[in-house]
């Protein structure tokens, strides 16, 4: 197996991680020494900024015209609700939940479904690649279609849970195509096992 395709995959993964980690529109200038927590209110995204020196807050949304004036903790409680405001800068909050942008253990189960779908998609391509390298030509083993179907169903379910229309649309046609290919393979196997044996 040649090293160039592996290097290209590693470079592409590194690029993807960098793009995801560095994404985000500017929310305006932040105050020096301020703590920042990302938020989403309706369709708007932004940050809540807290100045630890005077304990004032600013809600900076990406689509806002101008940065708002600082507000007190009591005003933040009225704006977001006391329980939400209390949890924003809670250092004991689950770090895993923050990284995955979720709020509960049930959500973590859905993340696992999405991750399993991605693993299935990686495995299908890895196995197809290995089979092609061994034969020195492009081949698609049967397991490719089974992993595609399983991964597609898992990702479809995950994107429905995330309410990600683009992800759902991307998986719907694929799941149908994968199922159709499996059906054709099984049909060919049945036809092959039912062919009459002739005595010679």
State pLDDT tens for residues 15-60. Answer: 767 765 665 556 777 888 888 888 877 777 788 899 988 999 999 8
Together in a domain, 112 and 162? yes
Residue 99 lies in a domain: no
Residue 1 lies in a domain: no
- Where the chain has pLDDT below 70, the residues are 1, 16, 19-26, 90-94, 103, 195-200
**Structural domain span for residue 171:** 105-193
Residue 115 lies in a domain: yes
Q: CA 32, 77, 98 angle in degrees (round to 5)?
A: 65
> How many domains are there within the chain?
2
Together in a domain, 111 and 187? yes
Together in a domain, 188 and 110? yes
Q: Is the dihedral of CA 9, 135, 143, 148 positive or negative?
A: positive
Together in a domain, 49 and 118? no
Residue 75's pLDDT is 93
Together in a domain, 113 and 174? yes
From the DSSP assignment, how many helices (H) and strands (E) are in the chain?
A: 7, 3
Residue 32's pLDDT is 87
């Amino acid at each position: 197996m040649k090293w160039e395709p592996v290097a290209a995959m590693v470079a592409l993964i590194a690029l993807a991680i960098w793009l995801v980690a560095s994404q985000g529109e500017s929310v305006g200038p932040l105050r020096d020494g301020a703590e920042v927590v990302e938020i989403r209110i309706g369709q708007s995204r932004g940050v809540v900024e807290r100045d630890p020196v005077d304990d004032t807050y600013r809600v900076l949304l990406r689509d806002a015209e101008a940065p708002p004036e600082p507000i007190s903790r009591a005003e933040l409680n009225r704006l977001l609700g006391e329980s939400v405001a209390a949890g924003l800068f809670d250092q004991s909050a689950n770090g895993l939940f923050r990284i995955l942008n979720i709020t509960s253990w049930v959500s973590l189960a859905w993340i696992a479904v999405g991750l399993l779908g991605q693993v299935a998609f990686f495995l299908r391509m890895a196995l197809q690649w290995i089979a092609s390298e061994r034969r020195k030509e492009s081949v698609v083993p049967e397991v490719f279609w089974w992993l595609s179907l399983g991964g597609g169903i898992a990702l479809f379910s995950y994107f429905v849970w995330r309410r990600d229309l683009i992800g759902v649309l991307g998986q719907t046609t694929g799941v149908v195509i994968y199922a159709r290919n499996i059906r054709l393979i099984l049909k060919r196997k049945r036809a092959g096992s039912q062919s009459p044996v002739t005595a010679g």
